[in-house]
Amino acid sequence: MLQVDSETILKEIIVEGSFKAIFHGTNNIVELEWDEQLEVIELQTMIQVREAIFVFGNGNKLPVYVSTKPFMNMTNEAKRFASSADGQKYTLASAVLVDNLAKRILYNFYVKFYSSSTPNKAFKSKEEAFIWLNSL
């Protein structure tokens, strides 16, 4: 579990070599950016993502925006966890950036086989994603 001093107001959580989670306090959205060096997302990384969301929301569910990068892959265990009730425990909804055809195809494949109980939607731009997340 990520350790945080209760007096500290976090704006970013960085897990070297994996991701950066940014908390947008004005609208309570968590923005997730994958590290450029990351090629395969594993189960432990997804557990760390869930913990970061927990820390920002103090245990409450928050909307999450996920940026993507080319040629990113996930292990089957990470995919199952990410779409499970346990993996989505602190996620209100997910908006995923799919800014090209290849990403859209991969996203649609993922949603078809690993659907989750929380709303998720693909967007061509960060702005569109934030508008949707703010509407929830």
The four Cα atoms 8, 10, 16, 20 give a dihedral, to 10 degrees, of: 180
| Domains in the chain with CATH codes | 12-122 (3.30.750)
What would the pLDDT profile of 53-90 be if each residue is shown by its tens digit?
A: 999 999 999 999 999 887 678 899 999 999 999 999 99
DSSP H/E element including 125: none
Structure confidence at residue 7 (pLDDT):
42
* Residue ranges for the chain with pLDDT beneath 50: 1-8
Please state, in angstroms and rounded to a whole number, the distance separating the CA atoms of residues 57 and 70.
29
Structure confidence at residue 2 (pLDDT):
46
Structure confidence at residue 73 (pLDDT):
87
Structure confidence at residue 131 (pLDDT):
96
